[in-house]
Amino acid sequence: MTNKNKAKKIITLFMLLVFGFVIFISKILYTSITPRHTPHLFTSDTSRAQRGCIISKDNFHIASTQKLYKAVVDTRNIDPGKYELFVELFSIYSGMKKNKIRQRLKRRKGSVVLSYSIKPKTAQYLKSLAFELRRMNVFVEYETPGGRHLMHGLNIVESGEARVYPYGDLLTPLIGYPRKIEEDGYTRIHGIKGIEKRFDEELNPIQNGYRRAPRDVNNYLRLTKQSKTVPSLNGYDVHLNIPVTLQIRIEKMLSRMKKELDAKEVYATVMESQSGKILTLASSNRFRPTSIRRRDYPSLKTSAIEYSFEPGSVLKPITFAILMELQKVNPFDIVNVHKGRYKIGRKTITDEHKYEWLSAENIIVHSSNIGIAQLAQKLDNIEFHQGLMNFGFAQKSGLDLPYERAGRMPSNRQLNSQIYKATTAYGYGILANQMQIIKAYNTFNNNGRFVTPVITEKLTNELGEEISIEQEEPRQIISASTAARMQKILIKTVNEGTGKGAITPGLIIGGKTGTAHIASKGGYARRYNSSFIGFANDGLHRYSIGATVIEPKKQHFASLTAVPVFKKIVDIMVSEGYLKPSIYNSAK
């Protein structure tokens, strides 16, 4: 009986062991074949997109964006015995002076920002340093009042962005300048003037990058099927029609001429006559966009569109073209110019040259105020006013830059007056900027067609998308025959008249000088602006060019100020290959 009980107990124990083993095996099998939904610890990071670049025609990056980082350290984590070692190493890696680091560390106990504007390369060095400092036990844990032990150490964190202009003051003021704006603790750049302002919305980042994924024990992202990634998209790049190689040479020349003429400013524009593309828009007055000083304030404006002035005699060809288009004058008509003195009402008009008779076209060639004042009387007020409007005066030129001044001209009623009609005909009582005048003159070099000047060629982004800059359709504002005749008159003006200094053998050069008193306190001061507006052509290329000198002190006549600037521009264009003189053109 006893043996039977023992046997039963052994069998029961054995069955229990077998049953337990079966359950164990079943559990393992179940676990291995059943999908598990164990929770993962996720982490995420954001990659901030950057502002787009401004790029020249010859692919130089005139403006670009650089990320900035800040270095943050918790002073409670620094081992007091290794305090000076931290200061020494951070100084070497960051370039900061040791005294400055010590001062910032002593400001407060806890989290301290050592620098807000660390460049990307330095940031990489400092990230390596942070790792080494941990390895060298420079950092130690500290205990919070709640009993938690924390270790922050040195952290390098993205803090914002800075605009970089690697070529200094090149292409200012047209490139403009930005300012910094804080957005949720991050420094962003926004355009204030020039191209930076005009295309601010397009240059701004399209979307920030974002990643969310499971993390490993070291808190690094593990990219799996459960990860979510949104790529960052920088802002559009703005591509200009202006090549650096031409712009920089003209800028340097304008700086020299400003000094030589003792002028307030010398500025110039070069435009392709058929397309309206601006190849150069340059000034002697420039500034560094990242370090603007008070003395730079007058240089912040783009004078070619923001400075309106009485153009003087450069308006005479416009008046003459209106007369010709309306068939009110024949270039070969003979006009009495009264030996240089002529009275209209109470006003006596004078000429520099004492001619008695001039042909109508020679009134332009020899710049006769008396001649053009008399010819203008053939126009009624509506014809004259509408003619000036057709040529774009008192309207913005349409150049793709902000803050253009439209200028002004006499009203219909004022142009009923003989005096207003006369003075307007030779460029007084009307305000225009250089770009408006070049746009008007360009019709003489473009078969009578009116085109809109444009600095920007296109916008592109990282996805390969491209946006072309739309221009207004060219308009025929005078007949091709009137334009051709005006072109010949302006060529004659250079060859025989006031623009002789612009002659360049082998090229077709035409243009007109203008020297105008500057209005001041209800009268005219003994201060002058001078301009030469014209064109330079070879067998294949046609360019409209303007040169303006503001208040030259050594000489004031345009023939001695603006004409030499124009000539130097043409010489530079020849040496850069934009114009190719020919024997045929020399013969003409």
CA dihedral 58, 59, 62, 67 (to 10 degrees): 180
**% residues pLDDT > 70 (the chain):** 92
pLDDT in tens, 111-130: 999 988 888 899 999 989 98
335 sits in which H/E element: strand 334-336
pLDDT tens profile 559-579 = 999 999 999 999 999 999 999
Signed CA dihedral, 96, 102, 107, 109: sign only: positive
pLDDT category, 10, cuts 50, 70, 90?
A: confident
Instruction: Kindly report the CATH number that applies to the domain delimited by 38-60+167-240.
Output: 3.90.1310.10
Tokens at 547, concatenated: 């040169």
CATH architecture of 244-286+300-458+469-587: 3-Layer(aba) Sandwich (3.40)
Amino acid 41: pLDDT: 65
279-316 as b/e, with b when 16 or more CB fall inside 10 Å?
bbbbbbbbbebeebeeebeebbbbbbbbbbbbbbbbbb
How far apart CA 254 and CA 283 sit, in angstroms, is 6
CA gap 265, 554 in Å, rounded: 13
pLDDT at 215: 59
Its CATH class, for the domain covering 67-160, is: alpha beta
Q: Which of 311, 299, 307 is nearest to 258 (CA)?
A: 299
- For residue range 364-388, list pLDDT tens digits in order: 999 999 999 999 999 999 999 999 9
582 closest CA partner among 520, 505, 510: 505
Contact between 93 and 115 under an 8 Å Cβ cutoff? The reply is no
Nearest CA among 401, 402, 403, 56 for reference residue 237: 56
Which residues have C-beta within 8 Å of that of residue 301, sequence separation ≥ 6?
173, 193, 307, 403
**What mean pLDDT do residues 455-468 have?**
93
Q: How far apart are CA 458 and CA 314, in angstroms?
A: 33
Q: Per-residue pLDDT for 359 more than 90?
A: yes
Structural domain boundaries in the chain:
38-60+167-240, 67-160, 244-286+300-458+469-587
* pLDDT higher than 80, residue 426: yes
